[in-house]
């Protein structure tokens, strides 16, 4: 199909605003009578609050007040409401807000927070899931709220157990001679968005609440605030501006309830709560945190016969966000493979760490680490090529996945993705000589992902023709750097047959003025908002036709729209340019018929909640498949891993903007590399984060990325539901990276790692520990390893 | 976030001396890349910050080439060091360390004087400066004095904890460092381990100079390590051992590695690297550095 705007490399529509600094972020907003809030955070991971003394803080001139948990009964949470905006009675992680100073300047607020004295009575600290799940473990929450669709285990720290049962697992294991087990561990990661969280809120004297916040989801923030503070939705206004990165860490709600609580204490004044970098680690949400185990039964051909998986998320002190990761993560642990007999037990477990939240790809990278480890282990046991084991187990259209959905052809062509990646890896290996002293390895990781969302998580859009026939597109999805405004501009341009220059997409969603959108998460926006914009465009066009029909005294069905004018089907000379139809149509005597055209469109795929006993159901709206591969070199002496090349092939349906899609892939790849070989939040034994800043929480730098060759391919199997056939992309290219690196490290030095990150120290430590087998492996692979000769 | 502080910018040495005598406590501000981090994080509170960048009569920003060596003003920044051709040629280790110090922005701000006076064990300037046996020149209310860098660094024991710093008294500042040229047929290099290829602190580092490399009987070694002891330090025993060897056979190098691993005394609990990794790697860095200077191999990557 020939497209005008889709598939073109339209430069980002926000580029000039961003590079000239005129793009507005929440922190740029300034209000008169602003007060500044600063949080006093818990220094204990698990303790009773015995007392909070803040008279000394109040005595400082310029301090307007100190707010504590005594000032509210509200509980917030996305789905399980277990978290007070300010700790009440008990703290459950280091960094939990215990009190907040509100002052006239940030300097005064800082000084005052140091004068707030909190005394604690320590409780046993549970940092690891095995401790929290132990029999008779102290309870972090005495009562776990029950909610439909979720299964907590009362009297334990398990707030959700999602169970999948398919086929006859026990028989599969008892009849198979070939079995293997393994574990995987992923520590907590930080999102490291460039823009720290900031919320500005005012509780007006008529009980309306104004909120400006760096959130991915203005409507969801509105929902939770209205619920927590018992307000009608119409009284809560939430506006978001450009976001400097989200990665899931700004989805749902984070600091908004606390800021609104403060605003309520100081009605009529704007309260600003702006986190600093350390608070981004201590006081928002963290990511990953998987403890996984598997047992697999397979045959001599490498085909999986049965699989038992335990997938445990270290979810921190509150389950508000983590609870939603348990299910999608659990579903994906069998990977893009057909498993006839399957048992998955996914647990969300309270611990005394900061709460776990969404982190780019919502449980899927953890799941992929497990699934890909499983095929690698089978290959290892059978001494088979791991790529071949993957191929033999790939799920085919018509087969059912872990939740009983029948896989469709348009879910994607993973075999082709594998071919593309393997071809790239082989080419690189043949053309680029090994470097003396370095052990080269290649590995791949397959990936799959579905967008997780509630079954009524609509995206909607409004398309308005202006008087000059330019168009405003109003949506409530946010642009956090992923380029949504640009792809939506292209989709609107295509749907309306008008050039992109005539289209402006809202950059400032505001729950007062822009139409509903559940959240900008799950890589869903190009796909879902795109569909909504398409429908809204058709609706706007229909209204232009009504205006033209009234002008001609004909039926709207006989009107044709071509992007410049509307004409009568049976006489093309009878045409009216669009700008004459935008305020209705006015005859020469001024008489006006019709009305200004406003189009509305909404989209939601059909989904359902899974059966609680079997975990089965149509829970995923669509699947995206892909494959990623890496070539890396390991410095045997230092343990440093150098990633040389990353090949990614993803079946994302029709690509809306190829250049942006490639950038999205490269960004995700680098983030994935960081999370695999560098990043981890280091806790001390009392649960305090030791590296809550960039000096010691290391993420890849430009120098790390500059030497990586990125090969990115898109397979374009059109999606059946999206009008232009586009699918999801934003999160996916992070999913295959960790498993591919793990496989490549195994290929290079023959060692199996099960815990991330593979820092130089970890790699070197294991090389020294198992030097004998590494040496043997290197000799076997002489071609891949040229030793440095030490002759002096 | 910063608590309020008073800022001063004396224009001459005399003004600096007069000013600092009136202040009960103060911190000298050079590039600020360490000081402001400490102040922001609340690790160091100072009510008075004395910026020495405006002092006109000391040429603190200058690099002077003398017949027998080079003078680095204490406010010479790392970009100046990195891009100076003579430093690259004659003080290669210093050039190499400047190349990986911080990031471009940091190198434009951070000064060699600040880097030394901050007395961080893993500082890029620490180990590399030590192998050139520099003399630290100090000016202050009691006139001028000078001392070797090795003595300028000070470690004291306080309640079982090692406290590190430099021998700078109130009312004094470092004016410059004098680095004598190495003899002809000498060379130096700097290698480090870091967690990223870009901006990162050294997990550990090593600077090596081989002097009179051509004649084994005359050959001498200078070896300094960073982040393997409370302060950047030389390894005299390893230096002597290597100097006493006729050839640098692989047995000799293995022995030298063992010696330096024994001598290294990294503190436990570092967020950057464990004691075991540092001890392991200081030996490997030594071997790599010797290879690089003797064989001209650069380390991989």
Q: Is the per-residue pLDDT at B268 higher than 70?
A: yes
Q: How high does pLDDT run on average in chain B? A: 95
CATH topology of domain B6-51: 3.30.43
Q: Is the per-residue pLDDT at B299 higher than 50?
A: no
Confidence of residue A784 (pLDDT cuts 50, 70, 90): low
Q: What is the pLDDT of residues A669-707, one digit of tens each?
A: 999 999 999 999 999 999 999 999 999 999 999 999 999
* Closest CA in chain A for residue B287: A790
Contact B280, A771 (CB under 8 A): no
Q: What is the pLDDT of residues A224-238, one digit of tens each?
A: 999 999 999 999 999
Q: Bridge-partner residues for A443, per DSSP?
A: A630
Q: What is the pLDDT of residues A640-665, one digit of tens each?
A: 999 999 999 999 999 999 999 999 99
Q: Is the per-residue pLDDT at A617 higher than 90?
A: no
Contact A704/B3, CB-based, under 8 Å?
no
CA nearest to A623, candidates A286, A418, A332, A213: A332
- For residue A791, the model assigns a pLDDT of 32
Tokens standing for B290?
Answer: 């010797």
Strands A641-651 and A709-715: parallel
Tokens standing for B110?
Answer: 């951070």
What is the arithmetic mean of pLDDT over A615-642? 93
- For residue A328, the model assigns a pLDDT of 87
DSSP state of B268: T
Contact A402, A342 (CB under 8 A): yes
Indicate if ipTM > 0.85.
yes
This prediction's pTM = 0.96
CA distance readout (Å), A171 to A202, A341, A401, A468: 62, 9, 20, 71
* Helical (H) or strand (E) element with A547: helix A525-552
Q: What is the pLDDT of residues B19-67, one digit of tens each?
A: 999 999 999 999 999 999 999 988 888 899 999 999 999 999 999 999 9
C-alpha to C-alpha distance for A694 and A211, rounded to whole angstroms: 30
Residues in B closer than 8 angstroms to A759, CB to CB, are 195
Q: How high does pLDDT run on average in chain A? A: 95
Q: Is the per-residue pLDDT at A771 higher than 70?
A: yes
Contact A792/B297, CB-based, under 8 Å?
no
Chain B residues whose C-beta is within 8 A of a chain A C-beta are 1-4, 37, 41, 103, 193, 195-201, 203, 247-250, 253, 271-274, 276-277, 280-281, 284, 287-288, 290-291, 294-295, 297, 299-301
Q: What is the pLDDT of residues B200-209, one digit of tens each?
A: 999 999 999 9
Q: What is the pLDDT of residues B102-150, one digit of tens each?
A: 999 999 999 999 999 999 999 999 999 999 999 999 999 999 999 999 9
Q: Is the per-residue pLDDT at A630 higher than 60?
A: yes
Which CATH number among 3.40.50.720, 3.30.390.50, 3.90.930.60, 3.30.2230.10 corresponds to the domain B187-295? 3.30.390.50
Q: Is domain A287-452+610-784 classified as CATH 1.10.10.10?
A: no
CA nearest to A519, candidates A472, A568, A458: A458
- For residue A786, the model assigns a pLDDT of 56
Chain A residues whose C-beta is within 8 A of a chain B C-beta are 106-107, 110-111, 276, 435-438, 633, 635, 637-638, 640, 642, 678, 682, 690-691, 693, 695-696, 698-704, 707, 759-761, 764-765, 768, 788, 790, 792
Q: What is the pLDDT of residues A247-301, one digit of tens each?
A: 999 998 999 999 999 999 999 999 999 999 999 999 999 999 999 999 999 999 9
Domain ranges of chain A: 15-22+457-603, 31-123+206-233+248-273, 287-452+610-784
Residues in A closer than 8 angstroms to B273, CB to CB, are 761
DSSP state of A732: G
Query: Same CATH topology for B6-51 and B187-295?
Result: no
- Phi/psi of residue A289, nearest 5 degrees: 85, 55
Strands A592-593 and A571-577: unpaired
Q: What is the pLDDT of residues A702-758, one digit of tens each?
A: 999 999 999 999 999 999 999 999 999 999 999 999 999 999 999 999 999 999 999
Q: Is the per-residue pLDDT at B301 higher than 50?
A: no
Contact B80, B112 (CB under 8 A): no
What is the arithmetic mean of pLDDT over A144-162? 90
Contact B227, B125 (CB under 8 A): no
Contact A190, A690 (CB under 8 A): no
Confidence of residue A364 (pLDDT cuts 50, 70, 90): very high
Closest CA of chain A from B76, distance in Å: 24
CA torsion A612→A613→A617→A622, rounded to 10°? 70
Confidence of residue B300 (pLDDT cuts 50, 70, 90): very low
Q: Is the per-residue pLDDT at A667 higher than 50?
A: yes
Residues in A closer than 8 angstroms to B41, CB to CB, are 693
Query: Same CATH topology for A15-22+457-603 and A287-452+610-784?
Result: yes
CA nearest to B189, candidates B78, B100, B301, B63: B100
CA nearest to A39, candidates A94, A119, A79: A94
A90-91: strand order across its sheet:
A90-91, A47-53, A117-122
Residues in B closer than 8 angstroms to A438, CB to CB, are 300
What is the arithmetic mean of pLDDT over A369-392? 97
Instruction: Identify which of A276, A696, A768 has the shortest CB distance to residue B271.
Output: A696
Residues in A closer than 8 angstroms to B290, CB to CB, are 792
Q: What is the pLDDT of residues B232-258, one digit of tens each?
A: 999 999 999 999 999 999 999 999 999
Q: At a CB cut-off of 8 Å and minimum separation 6, what does A248 contact?
A: A191, A216, A287, A357, A358, A359, A360, A362, A521
- Percentage of chain A beyond pLDDT 90 is 90
Domain ranges of chain B: 6-51, 187-295
C-alpha to C-alpha distance for B22 and A357, rounded to whole angstroms: 53
Q: Is the per-residue pLDDT at A445 higher than 80?
A: yes
CB pairs under 8 A between A and B: 85
CATH topology of domain A15-22+457-603: Aldehyde Oxidoreductase; domain 4 (3.30.365)
Q: Is A749 exposed, middle or buried (0-12, 13-18, 19+ CB in 10 A)?
A: buried
Q: At a CB cut-off of 8 Å and minimum separation 6, what does A130 contact?
A: A291
Residues in chain B, how many? 301
3-state DSSP call for residue A149?
coil
Q: Is domain A31-123+206-233+248-273 classified as CATH 3.90.1170.50?
A: yes
Q: Is the per-residue pLDDT at A312 higher than 90?
A: yes
- For residue B244, the model assigns a pLDDT of 95
3-state DSSP call for residue A701?
coil
Q: Is the per-residue pLDDT at A789 higher than 70?
A: no
- For residue A507, the model assigns a pLDDT of 87
Q: At a CB cut-off of 8 Å and minimum separation 6, what does A231 contact?
A: A207, A209, A225
């Amino acid at each position: 199909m020939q497209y005008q705007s889709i598939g073109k490399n339209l430069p980002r529509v926000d580029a000039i605003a961003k590079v000239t600094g005129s793009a507005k972020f929440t922190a740029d907003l300034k209000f008169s009578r602003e007060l500044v809030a600063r949080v006093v955070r818990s220094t204990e991971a698990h303790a009773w609050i015995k007392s909070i003394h803040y008279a000394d803080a109040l005595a400082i001139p310029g301090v307007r007040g100190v707010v504590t948990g005594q000032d509210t009964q509200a509980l917030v949470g996305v789905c399980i409401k277990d978290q007070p905006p300010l700790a009440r009675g008990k703290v459950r992680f280091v960094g939990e807000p215990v009190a907040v100073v509100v002052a006239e300047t940030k300097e005064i607020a800082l000084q005052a927070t140091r004068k707030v004295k909190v005394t604690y009575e320590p409780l046993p600290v549970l940092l690891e899931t095995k401790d929290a799940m132990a029999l008779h473990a102290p309870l972090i929450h005495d009562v776990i709220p029950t909610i439909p669709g979720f299964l907590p285990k009362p009297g334990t720290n398990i707030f959700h157990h999602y169970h999948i049962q398919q086929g006859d697992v026990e028989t599969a294991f008892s009849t198979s001679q070939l079995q293997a087990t393994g574990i995987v561990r992923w520590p907590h990661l930080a999102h490291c968005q460039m823009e720290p969280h900031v919320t500005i809120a005012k509780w007006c004297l008529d009980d309306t609440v104004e909120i400006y916040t760096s959130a991915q989801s203005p409507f969801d923030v509105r929902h939770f605030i209205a619920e927590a503070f018992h307000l009608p939705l119409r009284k809560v206004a939430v506006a978001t501006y450009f976001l400097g990165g989200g990665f899931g860490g700004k989805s749902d709600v984070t600091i908004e309830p606390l800021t609104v609580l403060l605003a309520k204490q100081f009605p009529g004044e704007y309260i600003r709560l702006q986190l600093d970098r350390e608070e981004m680690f201590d006081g928002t949400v963290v990511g990953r945190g998987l403890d996984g185990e598997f047992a697999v039964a397979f045959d001599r051909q490498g085909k999986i016969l049965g699989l038992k998986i335990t997938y445990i998320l270290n979810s921190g002190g509150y389950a508000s966000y983590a609870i939603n990761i348990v299910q999608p993560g659990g579903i994906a642990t069998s990977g893009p493979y057909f498993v006839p007999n399957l048992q998955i037990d996914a647990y969300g477990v309270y611990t005394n760490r900061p709460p776990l939240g969404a982190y780019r790809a919502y449980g899927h990278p953890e799941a992929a680490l497990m699934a890909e480890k499983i095929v690698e282990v089978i290959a290892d046991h059978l001494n088979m090529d791991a790529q071949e084991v993957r191929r033999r187990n790939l799920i085919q259209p018509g087969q059912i996945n872990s939740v009983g959905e029948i896989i469709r052809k348009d879910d994607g062509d993973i075999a082709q993705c594998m071919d593309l990646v393997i071809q790239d890896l082989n080419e690189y290996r043949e053309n680029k000589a090994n470097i003396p002293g370095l052990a080269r390895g290649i590995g791949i990781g397959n990936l799959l992902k579905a967008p997780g969302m509630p079954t009524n998580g609509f995206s909607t859009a409004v398309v308005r023709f202006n008087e000059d026939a330019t168009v405003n597109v109003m949506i409530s999805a946010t642009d956090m750097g992923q380029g949504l405004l640009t792809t939506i501009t292209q989709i609107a341009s295509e749907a309306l047959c008008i050039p992109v220059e005539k289209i402006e997409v809202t950059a400032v969603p505001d729950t007062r003025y822009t139409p509903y959108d559940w959240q900008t998460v799950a890589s869903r926006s190009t796909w879902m908002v795109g569909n909504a914009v398409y429908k809204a465009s058709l609706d706007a066009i229909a209204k232009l036709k009504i205006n033209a029909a009234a002008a001609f005294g004909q039926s709207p069905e006989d009107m044709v729209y071509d992007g410049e004018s509307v004409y009568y089907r049976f006489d093309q000379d009878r045409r009216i340019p669009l700008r004459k139809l935008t305020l209705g149509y006015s005859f020469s005597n001024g008489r006006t018929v019709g009305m200004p055209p406003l189009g509305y469109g909404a989209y939601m795929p059909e989904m359902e909640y899974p059966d609680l006993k079997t975990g089965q159901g149509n829970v995923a709206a669509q699947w995206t498949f892909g494959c990623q591969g890496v070539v890396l070199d390991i410095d045997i002496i230092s343990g440093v891993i150098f990633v040389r090349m990353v090949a990614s092939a993803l079946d994302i349906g029709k690509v809306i903007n190829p250049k942006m899609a490639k950038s999205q892939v490269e960004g995700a790849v680098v983030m994935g590399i960081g999370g695999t070989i560098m990043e981890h939040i280091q806790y001390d034994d009392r649960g305090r984060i030791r590296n809550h800043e960039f000096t010691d929480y290391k993420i890849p730098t430009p120098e790390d990325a500059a030497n990586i060759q990125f090969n990115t391919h898109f397979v374009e199997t059109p999606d059946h539901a999206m009008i232009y056939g586009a699918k999801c992309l934003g999160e996916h290219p992070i999913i295959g990276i960790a498993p591919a690196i793990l496989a490549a490290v195994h290929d290079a030095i023959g060692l199996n790692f099960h815990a991330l990150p593979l820092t130089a120290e970890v790699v070197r430590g294991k090389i020294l520990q198992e030097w004998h087998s590494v040496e043997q492996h290197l000799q076997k692979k002489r071609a891949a390893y040229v030793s440095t000769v030490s002759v002096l | 976030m910063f608590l309020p502080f008073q800022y001063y910018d004396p224009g001459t040495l005399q003004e600096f001396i007069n000013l600092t005598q009136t202040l009960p406590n103060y911190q000298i501000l050079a590039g600020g890349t360490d000081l402001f981090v400490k102040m922001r994080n609340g690790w160091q509170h100072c009510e008075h910050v004395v910026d020495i960048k405006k002092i006109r009569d000391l040429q603190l920003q200058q690099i002077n080439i003398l017949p027998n060596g080079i003078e680095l003003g204490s406010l010479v920044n790392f970009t100046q060091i990195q891009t100076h051709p003579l430093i690259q040629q004659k003080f290669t280790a210093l050039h190499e360390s400047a190349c990986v110090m911080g990031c471009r922005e940091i190198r434009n701000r951070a000064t060699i004087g600040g880097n030394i006076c901050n007395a961080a064990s893993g500082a890029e300037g620490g180990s590399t400066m030590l192998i050139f046996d520099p003399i630290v020149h100090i000016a202050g209310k009691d006139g001028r004095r000078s001392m070797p860098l090795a003595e300028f660094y000070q470690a004291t024991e306080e309640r079982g904890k090692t406290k590190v710093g430099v021998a700078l008294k109130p009312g004094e500042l470092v004016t410059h460092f004098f680095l004598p040229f190495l003899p002809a047929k000498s060379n130096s290099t700097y290698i480090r381990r870091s967690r990223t290829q870009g901006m990162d602190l050294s997990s550990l580092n090593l600077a090596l100079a081989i002097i009179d490399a051509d004649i084994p009987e005359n050959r001498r070694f200078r070896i300094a390590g960073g982040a393997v002891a409370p302060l950047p330090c030389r390894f005299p025993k390893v230096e002597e051992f290597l100097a006493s060897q006729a050839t640098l056979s692989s047995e000799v190098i293995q022995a030298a590695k063992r010696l330096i691993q024994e001598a290294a005394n990294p503190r436990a609990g570092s967020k950057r690297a464990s004691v075991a990794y540092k001890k392991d790697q200081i030996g490997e860095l030594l071997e790599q550095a010797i290879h690089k200077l003797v064989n001209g191999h650069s380390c991989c990557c």
